[in-house]
Structure 1
């Protein structure tokens, strides 16, 4: 069966087979649908069903909260049309035009930021630049056809080198290679920029909330805002387990000392006795919710593990944050890495 998919308010119309995702159908026919992980986690491809029906023959999207599904939200990377369908997808036709490229890169520098976090600096060919927006990510293309996505941790104005923050995932083939075998000057191939998580122009104050290496895209956003001059309140919340996981704490504190509009709240969920921690503890989204009981007037950016992002979305929307002022990037494991982790834990 073939069904017609209509997107509002852009008016784009295309055909979708019953056995393909709406995202794939749209991309195949030249419709520039936003997307990120393609695995039902990040929510970059979300749209609202106005009429008709969709179903999930490829599995239920992990990042779609029950209350979102009740409101008609669908993740197009996993959803297939079950009838002719009309969807509200306001970002279609509104996304800025950025060319996605596949490029060779050289590993310019490897530097451990923490026991399980590596800063990888990639150098582009002399004749190439990668135009991107602060917060987007790239895929590293592996020889077996698989790919690994990592956020760009530097601002777009500094694009000769690309900065990634790579966390070592036990059982992760690529991250284990990075930590144990990779050498500087190694050659890789990348594709990017990707994703719809990037800094928007707005006069509203901003809350940036990251968990673990979810700090990386927020770092790029902050560097961009500082370069342009921070002219509104910007609040950074960084949630980690212990003090050692705040792998760029001194850097952020130096930014705060130079930019009065920037505030920084690190939150530890499991501080060690040796940390002698006197700051905030618990879940990072709970700290934000406590400090901002009314979020209606803010733009909020979330990046990090899916449980953190999902918990924050539920809490913040309940505290008045309009959905159109919420942007997020959920750091999911690749399917093969997740399988390796599960087998190791079994």
Structure 2
């Protein structure tokens, strides 16, 4: 993904380029110095993305035809050299040097969703695990936030800094409160505050909703693999509760991974879903480093490996992975290579830690 001076000059002088998405055939144009992702968003075309900084990998796509280059100063750290050699790019870090054809699924627009800044009051805090707290936020009267299940909000902090957290419940009529699951990162700018000083009735400022995780398949009935690690469970929880609310008949397999039993902080809720959905949801908890004191008798190892053990063929499935970037990247790679998962059927929300 390194760009030479000659390549950079060629891009700077290039006229607008036409970009075509496959398999839909939808086209749009990009200007010199503009990322492919920003060009699409500017023209009302929503493509998978989360961080827009090259760290989460959600906007990964394959350039099938044409010349593309890394934007000056961009850092596509979520893209491996092997992937780059296979024509993969992070669209938030990539600009067109010619007309392009890109293998990337467009996300349907959902009317009524607009990014807003809101003051919110802390309604309640509940410790779900030694290092995880559920925070309920109450927007002002009449200021209900519209969002899609799987999206996130930014908590706005002093010094023009912000921290991102997924919304753990779907937006629904009569439910104004916003639910966040926050893991403590010692030394973290915001999480130290949450676990040390934050209390009910404190006021925070948020902006959102952001992100496209879970907005791809509003009408899909393909069987779904929901893959979470740690607090990556939050957007998965929102998606499942949305499907419950709409009476969806979709077949789902939920895999939730953690190191120890305490990491599965809403384990009993998952069991309740499995019973309520009567064969439409299978819940598989997986621990990678459980001590003997946990008394764990369930599945062990890496959570995405449990998926491969249960599903030899994922060519007809859609996979939604949320959690640590290492897990998301391993799932993206291994589920495709070992089980035939289609690249356009993998949707991800990688949680990038920001301790400072």
- Above 0.5 in TM-score? yes
What is the alpha-carbon distance in structure 2 between the residues aligned to residue 78 and residue 93 of structure 1? 19
Which position in structure 2 is the counterpart of 1:177?
193
What does residue 203 of structure 2 align with?
A: 187
Q: Does residue 48 of structure 1 match 2:62?
A: yes
Distance 2:124 2:85 in 1: 47
Q: Please provide the CA RMSD for this pair.
A: 2.1
Matches of 1:25 and 1:134, distance apart in 2: 25
Please give the secondary structure, in 1, of the residue aligned with 2:32: strand
Cα offset, 1:67, TM superposition: 4.3
Deviations 1:10-61 (A, max 9, x none): 32113122xx64445665x555454311221223333433202312532542
Deviations 1:214-251 (A, max 9, x none): 00000001101111224132111000000111100111
Residue aligning to 1:343 = none
Match of 2:166 in 1: 151
Residue 289 of structure 1 is matched in structure 2 by: 308
Instruction: Work out which of the residue numbers 146, 161, 164 in structure 1 matches 2:177.
Output: 161
**What corresponds to 1:276 in structure 2?**
295
Take 1:298 and 1:91, find their aligned partners in 2: how far apart are those partners? Answer: 15
Provide, for residues 267-291 of structure 1, a one-character-per-residue CA deviation record: whole Å limited to 9, x for no partner.
0000111111110001000000110
Change (3 A) 1:265 1:183: same
Any residues of structure 2 matched to 1:108-257 within 5 Å, and which?
108-157=123-172, 159-199=175-215, 200=217, 201-257=219-275
Shift of 1:88: 2.1
Aligned residue in 2 for 1:5: 17
Return the TM-score normalized by structure 2.
0.87
Contact 2:53–2:75 (Cα < 8 Å) also in 1: no
For residue 74 of structure 1, the aligned residue among 64, 69, 89 is 89
Taking the aligned partners of 1:2 and 1:92, their CA distance within structure 2 comes to 28
Residue among 298, 301, 315 paired with 2:317: 298
1:118-159 alpha-carbon deviations (Å, 9 max, x no partner): 101111121122211111111111121111110010012254
Could you give the per-residue CA deviations for residues 189-226 of structure 1, whole angstroms, max 9, x where no partner exists? 11111111015221111110100000000000110111
CA contact (8 A) 2:107 2:212 kept: no
Structure 2 residue runs of 5 or longer lacking an equivalent are 1-11
> Counterparts of 1:26-45 in structure 2 under 5 Å?
30=43, 32-34=45-47, 35-45=49-59
- Give the Å deviation of 1:86: 1.8
How far did 1:5 drift? Answer: 3.4
Query: Structure 1 residues 2, 113: closer, same or farther in 2, change over 3 A?
Result: farther
